[in-house]
């Protein structure tokens, strides 16, 4: 008998639902919330309201597209955390109600584990990473280096002490007048710019931890000074600024991952999270001269999506690792 899992993701500003059959994606729908663009960042209160509007149509569409009847679902998997509490509450409450209505088990999922385990979705990439591997979660809210010995044997061995890598792309992009989220635009503009044109100071942080707030402040000060000298500085130099900023961020990440490889002796590097579709990161880490092998998820499984939640749900279902209805959303939820 095939196993059908419905995954529901609502940790930030995307409402997503997906149906998997034995780890294979039958549907994966994402409703993006355009409303945040005009505010230059995610407004939590608006995100929760939009989730409430979107969740029923998105789940319905996911089941319809999967071409199954909801009674065929074996379990409901939902994002328990980390994320925005109001957003998580919408997805978790809805999932619990649906599991009660359908009388199927409920499975809670850690969003950051899901970003890494997305690689085990059948069509995520041509080659599956072998354990142990070094997981790298890079998103709008996280920057972590994770020692992954098995599906659910994960330990964070390095993380950012302040801003996340995606936040750095977004905030520096905003300083250049780029719209939210600026990460993809910085990436796009970088291709037209000279990455050596401007130099930004890299942080000195011990061990495998990161810090991006100094880079963000330095970048801000730099462009403010330049604008004082030439008021059109931003419009003239946007592409060069984007390319130089992106190179600095990639350099910081590359140095830390090399240290992680040296420290652990593990040579499989598995990326997850929205920033892992950055072309500068992919080029540097996919280079044949590296003494490690990098795995990147297919584009649709990099940013927030419910297929990765359903995948973790499926892995937990195989272990009969079910949750209970008392378990609530957790804004802070460690891997």
Q: How far is CA 183 from CA 32, 91, 171, 179, in A?
A: 16, 26, 9, 9
Question: Structure tokens of 126?
Answer: 């041509």
Distance CA 121, CA 22 (A): 9
Residues 219, 201: contact at Cβ < 8 Å? no
The residue (of 3 and 125) whose beta carbon lies closer to ligand KG4 is: 125
Over the Cα atoms of the chain, what is R_g? 20
Q: According to the binding rule CB under 5 A, does residue 304 interact with Zn ion?
A: yes
For residue 187, the partner it binds in Zn ion, ligand KG4, none, with Cβ less than 5 to 8 A by kind, is ligand KG4
SS3 state at 20: strand
Residues 96, 106: contact at Cβ < 8 Å? yes
Q: According to the binding rule CB under 5 A, does residue 139 interact with Zn ion?
A: yes
The residue (of 105 and 181) whose beta carbon lies closer to ligand KG4 is: 181
| Binders in 134-163 for ligand KG4, by CB under 6 A | 139-141
The residue (of 47 and 277) whose beta carbon lies closer to ligand KG4 is: 277
Q: Is 174 exposed, middle or buried (0-12, 13-18, 19+ CB in 10 A)?
A: middle
Quick note: the x/- pattern for Zn ion over 21-60, rule CB under 5 A, is ----------------------------------------
> Per CB under 6 A, which region of 57-65, 182-190, 218-226, 261-269 contacts ligand KG4?
182-190
The phi and psi torsions of 281 (rounded to 5 degrees) equal -65, -45
Beta bridge partners of 143: 138
Spatial CA neighbour of 266 closest among 286, 296, 294, 285:
294
Spatial CA neighbour of 98 closest among 67, 69, 76, 68:
76
> Per CB under 6 A, which region of 2-10, 94-102, 166-174, 324-332 contacts ligand KG4?
166-174
The residue (of 86 and 181) whose beta carbon lies closer to ligand KG4 is: 181
The residue (of 285 and 317) whose beta carbon lies closer to ligand KG4 is: 285
By beta-carbon distance, which residue lies closest to ligand KG4?
274
Q: According to the binding rule CB under 6 A, does residue 323 interact with ligand KG4?
A: no
- Smallest gap from Cβ 166 to ligand KG4, in A, equals 3
In eight-state DSSP terms, residue 36 is G
- Smallest gap from Cβ 143 to ligand KG4, in A, equals 10
Distance CA 39, CA 47 (A): 12
Given 91, 105, 135, 181, the residue binding ligand KG4 (CB under 6 A): 181
**Contacting positions for ligand KG4 (CB under 6 A):** 12, 139-141, 166, 169-170, 181, 183-184, 187, 273-275, 277-278, 303-304
- By CB under 5 A, name the binding residues for Zn ion: 139, 304
């Amino acid at each position: 008998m095939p196993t059908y899992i419905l995954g529901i993701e609502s940790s930030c500003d995307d409402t997503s639902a997906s149906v998997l059959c034995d780890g294979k994606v039958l549907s994966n729908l994402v409703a993006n919330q355009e409303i945040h663009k005009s505010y230059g960042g995610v407004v939590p209160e608006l995100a929760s309201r939009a989730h409430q509007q979107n969740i029923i149509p998105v789940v319905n569409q996911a089941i319809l597209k999967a071409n199954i009847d909801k009674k065929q679902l074996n379990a409901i998997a939902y994002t328990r955390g980390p994320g925005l509490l109001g957003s998580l509450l919408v997805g978790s409450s809805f999932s619990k109600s649906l599991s009660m209505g359908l009388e199927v088990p409920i499975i809670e999922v850690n969003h950051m584990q899901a970003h890494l385990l997305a690689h085990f979705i059948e069509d995520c990439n041509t080659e599956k990473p072998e354990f142990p591997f070094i997981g790298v979660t890079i998103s709008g809210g996280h920057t972590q280096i994770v020692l992954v010995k098995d599906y659910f044997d994960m330990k964070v061995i390095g993380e950012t002490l302040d801003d996340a890598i995606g936040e750095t792309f977004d905030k520096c992009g905003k300083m250049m007048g780029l719209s939210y989220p600026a990460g993809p635009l910085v990436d796009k503009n970088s291709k037209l710019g000279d990455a050596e044109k401007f130099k930004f100071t890299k942080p000195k942080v011990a061990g495998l931890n990161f810090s991006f707030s100094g880079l963000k402040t330095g970048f801000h000060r730099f462009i403010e000074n330049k604008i004082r000298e030439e008021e059109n500085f931003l419009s003239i130099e946007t592409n060069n600024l984007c390319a130089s900023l992106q190179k600095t961020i990639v350099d910081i990440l590359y140095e830390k991952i090399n240290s992680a490889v040296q420290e652990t002796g593990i040579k499989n590097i598995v990326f997850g999270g929205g920033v892992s579709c950055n072309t500068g990161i992919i080029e540097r880490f996919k280079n044949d001269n590296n003494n490690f092998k990098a795995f990147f998820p297919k584009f649709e499984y990099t940013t927030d999506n419910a297929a990765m939640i359903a995948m973790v749900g499926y892995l937990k279902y195989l272990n009969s690792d079910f949750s209970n209805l008392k378990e609530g959303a957790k804004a802070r939820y460690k891997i």
